[in-house]
């Protein structure tokens, strides 16, 4: 082994609720976990402002602060938390070979993947500037803050339709911005949208800019057919054009679905490779909540612990 090579019992890749929870359980089981935080330490919750739906925080908490709490708890039990980004893997083991920052080699008896997923964005400057100040990629997380207000949601698939009907229960009015002259959503979801009185679907529309200085005050949209432009009077803007799981480096090693989410054995966190487990949004395109990610992080650590015990690795 070169001096840059290190052997660890449990390597955790990623640092959102799934990664940190896996670390808490793995550390308490004396697996001496090493966790690499990746490009976005704390994961998607660090770009969220207030979190009101995580159990145990009756007054709510801020996303970044909550991730600091998770991190502190993982460190308290002895997790070795490091800056760094996994750049390639070789899962032909066990043990498995992981390269960090293109230079450091780690040989790991078990690997827990918690690299999460990233929301797809429209790519507007105003969208990034107002992210967390009226712009959100999660209606279930943030819809509550827009009660009795008028909001817009962009997207045309089942997720967008589901989130639009969810918002319609809370908000006075919901504009649904659809780029083409039809939705991609299933017939059932389209009927649900059409039968909701306070949703107005704007077909053939594109968002040009989200208006607002410090918070969202409107959305400038363009009609591709009539070539007309107008500003929607909204205080919230939701983006529901999909998520991208952060799985590129695992291609060729791990089984994935058509969208790149890792496939795991039902009722566990096991991937198709022995000793490699997946937790959180990297393997979950259905629920995508902090609490479900944390739960699967717990499962991954227990799966890793049992695997090591079965292999007689102490």
Question: Catalytic residue numbers?
Answer: 138, 141-142
Residues 6+ apart with CB under 8 A from 40: 46, 47, 116, 118
- Give the DSSP H or E segment for 302: helix 290-311
The residue to which tokens 């949208």 are assigned: 193
Rounded CA Rg of the chain: 21
Residues 6+ apart with CB under 8 A from 69: 61
- Say which DSSP state 155 is in: -
Tally Cβ neighbours within 10 Å of residue 270. Answer: 20
Residues 6+ apart with CB under 8 A from 95: 7, 107, 108, 109, 275
């Amino acid at each position: 082994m070169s001096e840059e090579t290190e052997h660890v019992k449990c390597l955790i890749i990623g640092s959102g609720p799934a990664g940190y929870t896996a670390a808490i359980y793995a550390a308490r089981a004396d697996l001496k976990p090493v966790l690499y935080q990746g490009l976005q330490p704390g994961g998607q919750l660090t770009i969220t402002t207030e979190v009101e739906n995580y159990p145990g925080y009756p007054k709510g908490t801020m996303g970044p602060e909550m991730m600091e709490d998770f991190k502190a708890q993982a460190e308290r039990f002895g997790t070795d938390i490091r800056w760094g980004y996994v750049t390639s893997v070789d899962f032909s083991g066990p043990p498995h070979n992981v390269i960090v920052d293109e230079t450091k080699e780690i040989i790991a008896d078990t690997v827990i993947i918690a690299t999460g997923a990233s929301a797809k964005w429209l790519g507007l400057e105003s969208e990034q500037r107002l992210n967390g100040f009226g712009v959100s990629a999660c209606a279930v997380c943030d819809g509550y803050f827009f009660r009795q207000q008028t909001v817009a949601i962009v997207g045309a698939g089942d997720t967008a339709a589901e989130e639009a009907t969810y918002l319609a229960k809370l908000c006075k009015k919901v504009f649904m911005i659809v780029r083409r002259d039809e939705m991609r959503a299933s017939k059932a979801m389209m009927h649900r949208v059409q039968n909701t009185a306070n949703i107005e679907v704007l077909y053939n529309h594109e968002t040009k800019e989200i208006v607002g200085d410090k918070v969202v005050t409107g959305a400038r949209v363009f009609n591709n057919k009539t070539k007309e432009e107008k500003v929607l009077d909204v205080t919230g803007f939701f983006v529901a054009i999909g998520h991208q799981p952060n799985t590129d480096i695992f291609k060729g090693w791990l089984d994935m679905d058509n969208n790149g989410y890792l496939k795991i054995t039902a009722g566990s966190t096991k991937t198709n490779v022995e000793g490699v487990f997946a937790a959180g949004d990297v393997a979950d395109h259905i629920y995508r909540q902090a609490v479900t990610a944390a739960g699967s992080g717990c499962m991954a650590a227990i799966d890793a612990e049992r695997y090591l015990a079965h292999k007689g690795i102490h």
